Amino acid sequence: MSKTLIIGAGGVGRVVALKCAQHPGVFSSIMLASRTKSKCDDIAADVKKRTGQTIETARVDADQVPELVELINAFQPALVIHVALPYQDLTIMDACLETGVHYLDTANYEPKDEAKFEYSWQWAYQDRFKQKGLMALLGCGFDPGVTSIFTAHAAKHHFDEMHYLDIVDCNGGDHGKAFATNFNPEINIREITQKGRYWENGDWVETEPFEFKEVLNYPNIGKRDSYLLYHEELESLVKNFPTLKRARFWMTFGQEYLTHLRVIQNIGMARIDPVLYNGMEIVPLNFLKSVLPDPGSLGDNYSGETSIGCRIKGIKDGKEKTYYIWNNCSHQLAFNETGAQGVSYTTGVPAMTGAMMMLNGQWMRPGVYNVEEFNPDPFLDKLGKHGLPWHEEINGDLELT
């Protein structure tokens, strides 16, 4: 039984808090903190109503290491689960080092002034965490997170060598809005409008945004336009599974979404550099975020489901083999259980499960690690029980070449 501090009170924070509260034998005491305490209070009240468990709340500015240190020292958790903004990864890691607390996040660091994300900044903390006897677990959401664990499961149980990996992410849901993002609009738009890239024959190949499209068939959803993007788990997967000859990431987008996105870019609202407005500096993308629908508000009447998985080709016992492993998540079922839509649910459940793996000692060693560096079996054994059942298909038609 351990105290756990959750930082971030968006849709993912809501799911993590509720799922942790469902397991008081592991998470004996929970605190939820964010810059806006009222959001934490609302979630805490909902958690109490749904589970009967009481969680504490607090205000903290996660950009400020001294504030984080003060809060951590006051609450004295064993683990910090960071589900706020990726800009804050390093400040929270610094605070964990100063206070002697383990760390988990769901997305890798990126600087505010550049739409670029990579693990180098966090991997650089390896020696400091080892010396302190602390562990930092990186990217324990769904993608990154479960997709990396799916890959580790495939390597362990199905292949002698994996050669081709395609991570495929489809949101087949309908929230009824003209334009909305399923997680933080600022992070989402920064992520998908930068150049894409994929790994092939030992090097990165750069692409223009949305340059490559495939029409892929997703279980229970059907055919959807899928576009090649860069996604952070590719960086760690090609490092940890060096037999991969090619690794790519695909995500679905509807034409209406892409039309809105082009307009947003064309009129300058996707800019992340400050502009002068009425004598004040504002960042256009920050302003846009303030007027777009809150992703946490999309759950009610959100129909359909997500489908995310890994399609892998390689060699087993000298023969070619294909393998597809995936999860489908219903937006409505996720909302009924947690009050959050499926994208928040598929990120929050793995974060709680990874935290459980750390606290019960199944995934625990000093240093900074990505999730695929640990035994996937105990995690996947619990994932379905926690609400995200997974499925697999061997030697089927993977469509991608």
Residue 380 lies in a domain: no
Average pLDDT rounded to a whole number, residues 196-204: 95
Instruction: Mark which of 138, 164, 198 sits at the end of a domain.
Output: 138
φ, ψ dihedrals at 216, nearest 5°: -110, 150
**pLDDT confidence of residue 374:** 98
**pLDDT confidence of residue 195:** 86
Residue 358 lies in a domain: no
pLDDT tens digit sequence for 211-230: 999 999 999 999 999 999 99
**pLDDT confidence of residue 270:** 72
Which residues fall within 8 angstroms of residue 278, CB to CB, at 6 or more apart?
none
Strand duo 203-207 + 196-200: pairing: antiparallel
Assess contact for 21 and 51: CB atoms under 8 A: yes
Residue 373 lies in a domain: no
> Under DSSP, is residue 298 helix (H, G, I), strand (E, B) or coil?
coil
pLDDT class of 297 with cuts at 50, 70, 90: low
Number of domains in the chain: 2
Assess contact for 295 and 173: CB atoms under 8 A: no
Average pLDDT rounded to a whole number, residues 308-326: 97
**pLDDT confidence of residue 148:** 98
Considering the domain architecture, whether residues 200 and 278 belong to the same structural domain is answered as yes
Considering the domain architecture, whether residues 178 and 318 belong to the same structural domain is answered as yes
Distance CA 401, CA 4 (A): 44
Residue 359 lies in a domain: no
Tokens representing 363 are 């995934």
Tokens representing 139 are 């990217």
Considering the domain architecture, whether residues 101 and 166 belong to the same structural domain is answered as no
Which range (32-41, 124-133, 180-189, 366-375) has the least confidence? 180-189
> Under DSSP, is residue 118 helix (H, G, I), strand (E, B) or coil?
coil
pLDDT tens digit sequence for 76-123: 999 999 999 998 999 999 999 999 999 999 999 887 766 677 899 999
Considering the domain architecture, whether residues 100 and 245 belong to the same structural domain is answered as no
Considering the domain architecture, whether residues 265 and 321 belong to the same structural domain is answered as yes
CATH assignment of the domain containing 93: 3.40.50.720
Considering the domain architecture, whether residues 334 and 303 belong to the same structural domain is answered as yes
> Under DSSP, is residue 247 helix (H, G, I), strand (E, B) or coil?
strand
**pLDDT confidence of residue 112:** 72
**pLDDT confidence of residue 266:** 72
Which residues fall within 8 angstroms of residue 263, CB to CB, at 6 or more apart?
none
Residue 364 lies in a domain: no
Distance CA 81, CA 92 (A): 10
- What is the per-residue burial (b if ≥16 Cβ within 10 Å, else e) of 79-109? bbbbbbbbbbbbbbbebbbebebbbbbbbbb
**pLDDT confidence of residue 178:** 60
Considering the domain architecture, whether residues 184 and 332 belong to the same structural domain is answered as yes
Which residues fall within 8 angstroms of residue 240, CB to CB, at 6 or more apart?
370, 372, 373
Considering the domain architecture, whether residues 239 and 152 belong to the same structural domain is answered as yes
Distance CA 216, CA 168 (A): 9
Instruction: Mark which of 116, 138, 160 sits at the end of a domain.
Output: 138
Residue 360 lies in a domain: no
Per the structure, the complete domain to which residue 293 belongs is given by 146-339+387-394
Distance CA 102, CA 80 (A): 6
CATH assignment of the domain containing 222: 3.30.360.10
Assess contact for 283 and 272: CB atoms under 8 A: yes
Assess contact for 4 and 81: CB atoms under 8 A: yes
Considering the domain architecture, whether residues 263 and 166 belong to the same structural domain is answered as yes
Residue 101 lies in a domain: yes
Residue type, 186: E
